[in-house]
Chains A and B, each alone.
Chain A
């Protein structure tokens, strides 16, 4: 056995993530207290999720992801399992009008969350494995079409749940990975307009999705109807001012914000901790982005490099999407804020992603 020449994990990244986790626990308690019968039931469940997630993170940070580069079998197995799980959600009853959860023995989890890191690894692996192909147009097209084929099934399943937000997140991160993985530029000249057109058509054909988009464009127009969440979230943010109204003192979480402890937790933080809080959390995510890039730059191996970028983007893009929704800069798609929003699967997966990033960080140097 070769001597272990790996470096210690990236402590700064771990610090930023744990800070976010701590902030998350505080505000899950603050935002959910009023809707919880014992005031702490949401907090306790989030803590259980955090515990599992931290254990998983520690375990994953000890793995050597580079191993997958030459032995893609486990990756393939993971892909197949997660696609099967994505199928399985349709056999479980709808919750909130969507097939997003699998419920076993009273515990429920979201397969689409599990699929996120799997997808990043699969795309990174594929881009590096076929890197020679990207220089030749005749090679690039079939390889890319195959990749599209690999992604289209799970993406379609997630879209079918329906979970437009996660689908968008996955495809967006995948597109960025393809872009960074060296795919020829002309592909994007074609792919980006095509994807936009498909997306537009998708939105325009459904009144429900159209309503969400229009409400995001003009929340004040119909404050009691579809624009309600958007306006309430702005009110929460604005009410916070520079220093916030104080921890636990927010008004908007009193059911004026419909999903105060999940999708709109950032609005609660904005109200209670003010601009100081919102900027601090933005800086923590910026810190994750910064450390993620450093890891990607420092690691030699292409697969690990691309995986590190993809995993980082998974966290940061999702955070930015959530924060944009709170500002009603984007339609509400039900995207949780990584490490902070209430939700077991999301928290565990975010910590797992962190674990993978930490394990890659040992390969730098």
Chain B
């Protein structure tokens, strides 16, 4: 899975890259918030991101807010990785739209475990999105007749929206996927036997 790293600390960035690649992530690195935002605006942005709080230009929480206000990025899983360790900072960071908050210095095994949670959520969201698309496609191929149909009380023709009176089987075959095979019911057979 692709993951974006946005941190102005070149040492930590390299260390993150090496660890994440060992854990089979595909890493995209950015040294500041503006560069990260540019990557996010590309057609297929990484579905996960690790962001520093304090970066030149756009900081982590501001970037989180931008992401959450952008419908195309609503599923992005964001971890704020910061040395801002107060409870208020953590609340502010999470309220800005981050999914998780890790305080530096951190434990590599803990980061790996938290990334696995993010990976699982993103995978579930992607599977759900794919299923919704399949259902939408299936739904668009199903034609359903609804609404009020004007029908002649005697001959049972139906008036269409162009004011033509159509045989009921013709109307239904145009407005649904139903097909007709003609036969004679027992009552009609008795009634029309002599004709």
Chain A complexes with chain B: no
> What residues make up the interface of A, taking CB atoms closer than 8 Å to B?
none
